[in-house]
Structure 1
Amino acid sequence: MATKERRSLNVFTFREGHQNDYQIVPFSQLVPFTHQPRKFFNPIKLAELAATIKKHGILEPLLVRLMNDGQHYEILSGERRYRAGLLAGVNEARVLVLEVDDEEAIEISLLDNLQREDLNPVEEVEGILNLLSFKLKISREQVKSTLYRLQKERKGQTAHNVVGNAQIEVITSIFKSLGLLNLDSFINHRLSLLNLPEDILRTLGEGKIEYTKAKVIARLKDSEQRTELLEDVIAQELSLSQIKERISLLESRESNPLTPTAQTTLSETYQKLKKAQLWKTDPKKWRKAQTLLKKLEELLNEEIEE
């Protein structure tokens, strides 16, 4: 399958022939963009960037637009550099001032982050929904409803067209220009992420787990079990198959809590032993555990000999 091409920011920055028309603007006049798709800025990476800026300054100019007060500039591209600059004690930055409307401003901000390929899935979804909302002139909830109706229409689940041709044209052109996900993949796999439980959505938004793992963990309805599993997934870096196994064990225990199976007991004991890391935390207990393991091994060997 051919790789999709993402629309370039050059469409905006070079279209008026002012690629060298930069200005120096004090940080006090810079304001983060209201519709910035990125909500989480990794503090460790931000500190690393701040250290680089301290040495070399902000090398790449920020893309901004003049606000209605005529005094401040809204950051359309480069908020991460701006935040790192604040940490580094920088007082000013080189900027390129663009004359763009709200729709284009959102598209620029989204393109900037997508081209850097470090938005998490939740930020991607929200950014695309914001752009569609502005383009279609409807609310985000209406955008979601329109996309789900369009999905049914494309699958032939409706007797007649429920989404207008004009809306379909806008939606398909946006996905084509962004070159990120195709429309069906976005509707089928990403849009539902916003319906995840709040704790999982927050963890996913912080980039601590993959969206495939998040959707599986959400199967647990018990909030305490979900929280415990979520913590284990992050701390132990559990794989998707391990997560599914843990959930199966929890579900089997819920269905028959008084008679745990041998497999359940064995799996839970193994997980507890692995999590406790006695060889590090309590050498005395670890020696006892090794003795018991040795006896178990001997028992198994006896059965084999018989």
Structure 2
Amino acid sequence: MGASHPLQPGGPVTPTTQPTLPIRRIVQGKNPREYFDPDEMAELEEGIRAVGVLEPIVVRPVPGTDLYEIIAGERRWRAAKNVFGDDYDMPVVIKDASDETAEAMSVIENYHRAAMSPAEEARAAQRQLLRQRGDKEETARLMGWSPEVLERRLALMACTPTVLKALTTRSIQLGHAELLSGIPPEKQDSVLAGVLAQKVPVAVLKAQLGRFARRLADAIFDTAQCSGCTHNSARQAGLFAESLGEGYCQHPSHFEELTLQAVQARADALRDEYPVIRIVKVSDGFTPLPLTAEGELGVGAPQYTSCQGCQSFGCTISAMPGSYGEVSHSLCFDAACNSQKVALWRKAQRDAQAAVDEAAGKGAKQSTAKVSGKAGQKGKAGSNAANKAVAASAPTNQTPQRMVAHRLTEWRKWLAKALMTQPQRSQRVLIALVLAGRGADLREAQFRNAFDRMAGQTAPAGFGVRGGLQRADAAPEAQLDRLLQAATASAAFGVNTSDLELLLNYAEVDEGRYFQWDKEFLDLFTMSELESLAVEVGLKKAMGTGFKAARASKKQEFIAALLKVQGFSYQGTVPAVMRYRRQPVLAEGGQGGAGVEVDEVEGSEAAASHSDVQPETALA
């Protein structure tokens, strides 16, 4: 290490006590500065070429070698090396510093000289914070920064490495990076590419990002979770010169995810209310179809009540900006069916109005005052007449599939019980099944249960036909006829739906004898369906003014109210959804499952008039 250094090659030697080291013995340290601006370096080299290095750089020994590592002053070391070469005696200050102290000194030195990139400072701040185990106060002290400066630099670490590199190389301004730090990392690089390609100014980028941000005031989810989020614009607004301001979420996809979760929760809360609940998104292009009793697209009061029990009746919940979480009630999700119902209602109105006009024409000799007095009643009379016409035409709906499945299960039980009370019809059904090649419709499981109860056998038997013969031969002779009935009745659980309805008609099954009003049955319905059902069977009328309060309660409370209406005749009252279609069975040319509806036959099983009818045996 020499005691003097030349100011320039070949120049005079000035005595000094300043320590120096040949440049060849100085190596790079862990400099937080990653980018050295070419123009600034060229300017520095010109100054060093003129007067040499006037201010020493700070170095520390590299253990086990004769080399020294730069702590601060790498720009001067680079410039002197380029100008004077490896033999130049570099003025130095030698420090014995730890890694964390060395980096802190380097940051401070750079911070107060030619400014490092904020990205370089951010990385250095993050490393120092890790060394201090998250102690921001100590980190700021070591780096010679205020806590606010530290927070600003740490916030930049939300940028991707590509964005930080662009900031380091001066390809973008600090404002660009501040704005980009708020959007999702997976979007930053693609937005950066557009900024670089189009040379987008900071103000324009800010406007563009603002169009995609979501207002937290519009959120239907709990925004308390957003307070510490890096994508909350309030974070950038409190730290950076450039931001979208407070109150914005800059992560649209996450905002949509949280919104959908909240919308789904609202949908789940409406499961008891409607058969159909649809969440509507911007991409759906969905147009709701309101269902009303009156108005231009009305279907009439009777049909509207029936529609409330339809599988296509429901609501929508908006997942679209500006209307997040809004519920649109009373919608139809079958446009074709709705069009037919609207057309029928309009025709009924026209026909009713024609009848009113015709009746009014017969009184044309009345005074002008009387005619004027009745004119206001004409529209109401026409509407009432139209409602009566629609009611008379038996309003219809599409039965929900869960109800179809339930009633099929019940019909099979009812048919099995009915066949067990009608020996002769049971025998004819068995013959019909064999003649039709439908013996496979007999069901072993149901028959085996009945056989075990009726035959009272407990001893094990063999397998296959041999085992069956053993059990049949051991059965009490007195039970053989009943066992044959049970075998036939088991077919109720095997025949297809068409044949099931055919056999229900043949056995003249009376639904009123078997149907039970209970909580299990009503639980199958949504609230709108329960309301439709209550109107249909007369429960709403029987409840009077109490119906409205019951309907406004929760589902289980509503069901409880429907099951304890004073004066209502539950026994024998069967909802239309549980009735099977009446059709001719033995009429000439009749086909199973393809008959037309006829009036309900009275008498049912009693019409068989068998004197030896025995108690039913349930097969289910």
TM band (smaller chain)? 0.5 to 0.7
Q: 1:177 to 1:73 in 2, by over 3 A?
A: closer
Per the alignment, do residues 129 and 222 of structure 1 end up closer, same or farther by CA in structure 2, a change over 3 Å counting? closer
Q: How far apart are 1:67 and its partner, in Å?
A: 1.0
User: Aligned to 2:116, what secondary structure does the other structure show?
Assistant: coil
Per-residue CA deviations over 1:285-305 (Å, capped at 9, x if unaligned) read xxxxxxxxxxxxxxxxxxxxx
1:116 match: secondary structure: coil
Question: 1:54-107: CA deviations, max 9, x gaps?
Answer: 111111111111111231011111100011112213432111212223232222
Whole-Å separation in 2 of the counterparts to 1:195 and 1:174:
19
Change (3 A) 1:179 1:203: same
Name the counterpart of 1:49: 44
Distance change in 2, residues 1:230/1:28 (3 Å): same
The structure richer in helix per residue is 1
Task: State whether residues 63 and 95 of structure 1, in contact with CA within 8 Å, keep that contact through their aligned partners in structure 2.
Answer: yes
Question: Which stretch shifts more, 210-219 or 57-66?
Answer: 210-219
Instruction: For 2:124 and 2:17, locate their aligned partners in 1 and report how far apart those are by CA, in whole Å.
Output: 29
Greater Cα offset, 20-29 or 70-79: 20-29
Superposed, 1:236-247 pairs within 5 Å as 238=201, 240-247=202-209
Q: Is the 8 A contact 1:204 1:210 kept in 2?
A: yes
Residues 128-174 of structure 1: CA distance to partner in whole angstroms, max 9, x if unpaired? Answer: 2233333x3xxxxxx5xx4xxxxxxxxxxxxxxxxxxxxx4xx4133
- What TM-score does the superposition give when structure 2 sets the normalisation length? 0.29
Q: Deviations over 1:2-36 (max 9, x none)?
A: xxxxxxxxxxxxxxxxxx86322111100011x21
Letter in 1 for 2:68: Y
- Among 95, 98, 102, the alignment partner of 1:101 is 98
In the alignment, the residues of structure 2 paired with residue 85 and residue 126 of structure 1 have an alpha-carbon distance, to the nearest angstrom, of 27
The whole-number CA distance in structure 2 between the counterparts of 1:174 and 1:224 is 33
Give structure 1 regions of 4+ aligned residues with deviation exceeding 6 angstroms.
none
**Whole-Å Cα distance in 2 between the matches of residues 223 and 40 of structure 1?**
20
Partner Cα distance (1:106, 1:173) in 2 = 14
> 176, 179, 188: which one pairs with 2:141?
176
- How many residues end up aligned between the 2 structures? 196
Distance 1:249 1:23 in 2: 60
Q: Say if 1:132 and 1:200 are closer, same or farther in 2 by CA, change over 3 A.
A: closer
CA contact (8 A) 2:108 2:144 kept: no
Q: Report deviation, 1:250.
A: 8.4
Once the two structures are TM-superposed, the CA of residue 127 in structure 1 deviates from its matched residue by: 1.5
Deviations 1:180-210 (A, max 9, x none): 2415x634x4323223233322101223333
Assess if the C-alpha contact under 8 Å between 1:121 and 1:211 holds in 2.
yes
Residue 113 of structure 1 is matched in structure 2 by 110
Aligned counterpart in structure 1 of residue 196 of structure 2, from 230, 235, 246: 230
What is the DSSP-based 3-state SS (H/G/I as helix, E as strand, rest coil) of the residue aligned with 1:63? strand
Residue in 1 that maps onto 2:379: none
| Alignment root-mean-square deviation, CA | 3.0
Identity among equivalent positions (%) equals 24
Alignment of 1:1-80 (within 5 A): 22-33=18-29, 35-80=30-75
- Residues 186/101 of structure 1: CA separation in 2 closer, same or farther (3 Å cut): closer
Q: Aligned letter for 2:99?
A: D
* 1:186 maps onto 2:181 in alignment: no
Distance 1:217 1:106 in 2: 27
Gaps of 5+ in 2: 1-15, 214-281, 283-620
Return the TM-score normalized by structure 1: 0.55
Given the superposition, is the C-alpha separation of residues 24 and 200 from structure 1 closer, same or farther in structure 2, using an over 3 Å criterion?
same
Contact 1:217 1:230 in 2 (8 A): no
Task: Give matches, 1:278-293, under 5 Å.
Answer: none
Aligned partner of 2:177 in structure 1 is 214
